[in-house]
Amino acid sequence: MRKLVFIALISTLSCAGIPEIITSDAYNEKEAIKRCLVPFLKNDRRLVHSINADIPGGAKATVLGVVLASPGKKYLHPVLMTVEGLVIFEAHYDGKVRIIRGIRPFDSKSFAAGMIDDIRLMLFPPTGKPALTGQLKNGNYICRYKNENSITDYIALTGNSWQIFLYDLKGSIIKDVRLYGINKNSIARKIEIFSKKTVKYSLHLELVREEPVNK
Amino acid sequence: MNIMNFLKQFKLLLPVIISLFFIGWGSSWQEIKKTGKVISSVRSEFIQKKHLKILAKPLVSRGKFYFQAPKSLRWEYTSPLKSILLIHKGKVRRYTVKDKKISRDSSAQLQSMQVVLQEISLWLKGNFDANPMFKAEIRGNRKIVLTPKEAGMAKIISRIELHLSRRPGIIDKVKIYESRDSYTVIEFRKTVLNKKISGSIFRKI
């Protein structure tokens, strides 16, 4: 019954803007899931990015970001610093967000929570099984995950690129994430995040350095 | 302390660093001040190493800077990203260059840079002991330590160490400590003093 309700919900949402997912006899679900989840960390890594931000009010800023990420433990330790090397934000996440250092306005809980959400979305694979998998009209594999608050589509594009859409339950896009140039360690050379609701901003990340975390 | 005040105060560090090129060596502020008048320009390359507990090895940035007395500065990062800060004829501008595209940093805190330049003439005369932001001490051989006077600033930067070269008028390196585990080291090399610098360096990206 729940499955029927969900399929009905998805069908309705297709009208709202969430793309229709097509399955066919030739379609291979295991292959679809495998393809959808390529650009997410498999092991603990330490990543450094340059980040160009377009923020509300038309301002632009460039910072450097460092993150120690453990997909297995769902743990994150992000640091943001100016180009000159001064730390403006540092936090831990292990299910809860704990701010270690924050210079106003980067000391706010809402900023920290939003940043952790963005990092999780672009680095960690989704949990559980997809609610629906298949292909789009253009043949790209798509995996759709759902929770009580949102729907997330993971799409394998052509040319070593992926796209993630985070929707609210009405089908409006909350976040649009694009990952390009995935290397053998499942790390994107370039990531773009477009926040479409509430606070509109965009982040353009370029990988500076990545390395394993030695235990 | 909010980000604007913090960045304003941090950017005040740049003239501190730069103006120390203008000092010769001595064991007292009086001797330092004596040599403060003879420098008209500085150009140098730098390597910046950011040390963080979270990093297995420091994050290395490279760049160069130019300073022309009294008020022109170009502080340029060439890697890992290209970022240029220009101060010239009362204007402060910051740019990032990515994929051959130039983007101007329009953050509000740049306006506070105007205040920075008013302090430069003070430091150029070697009046570090008169600096309202920092307490300055000469420690040991060719080392100056700056400690923030304001509690808010001290939570962000605990101290700055300036390591002076054997060559008069040259700084070897600057260390900026946020905490014991988080600090930035800027090493200067190929420093040239008092050579004419074209004005276009401070205007063009």
* ipTM for this model: 0.83
- Consecutive sets of 10 residues in chain A, 215 residues long: mean pLDDT of each? 47 63 80 93 96 87 94 96 90 96 88 96 94 92 94 95 96 96 96 92 96 81
Length of chain B: 205
Residues B67-123 have pLDDT tens digits of 888 778 898 999 999 999 888 887 888 898 888 888 888 654 444 444 444 444 445
DSSP chain A: -HHHHHHHHHHHHHHHTPPP-B--TT--HHHHHHHHTTTS-SS-EEEEEEEEEEETTTEEEEEEEEEEEETTTTEEEEEEE-TTS-EEEEEEESSSEEEEEE-BTTT-HHHHHHHHHHHHHHHSPPPS--SEEEE-TTS-EEEEEE-SSEEEEEEE-SSSEEEEEEEETTS-EEEEEEEEEE-TTS-EEEEEEEE-SSS-EEEEEEEEEEEE---
Residue A29 zone, left/alpha/beta (φ > 0; ψ -120 to 50; rest): alpha
pLDDT at A89: 94
The angle that helices B113-124 and B3-11 make with each other, rounded to 10 degrees, is 30
pLDDT at A109: 94
DSSP-derived pairing of the beta strands A59-70 and A75-81: antiparallel
Give the separation between CA A203 and CA A119, rounded to whole angstroms.
11
pLDDT at B140: 79
Chains A–B, number of C-beta pairs less than 8 Å apart: 88
Give the separation between CA A171 and CA B184, rounded to whole angstroms.
46
Short-list B140, B148, B142, CA closest to B173:
B142
The pTM score is 0.85
Greater confidence, B178 or B6?
B178
pLDDT for B131 beyond 60: yes
- Among B48, B96, B103, whose Cβ lies nearest the Cβ of A85? B48
- Check if B200 contacts A (Cβ < 8 Å): no
- Cβ-contact A195, A174 below 8 angstroms: yes
Contact residues for A170 (Cβ-Cβ < 8 A; gap 6+): A13, A16
A107: closest chain B residue by CA: B2
- Three-state DSSP class for B136? strand
- Among A48, A52, A83, whose Cβ lies nearest the Cβ of B98? A52
- Among A50, A68, A105, whose Cβ lies nearest the Cβ of B3? A105
Short-list B13, B203, B20, B12, CA closest to B115:
B12
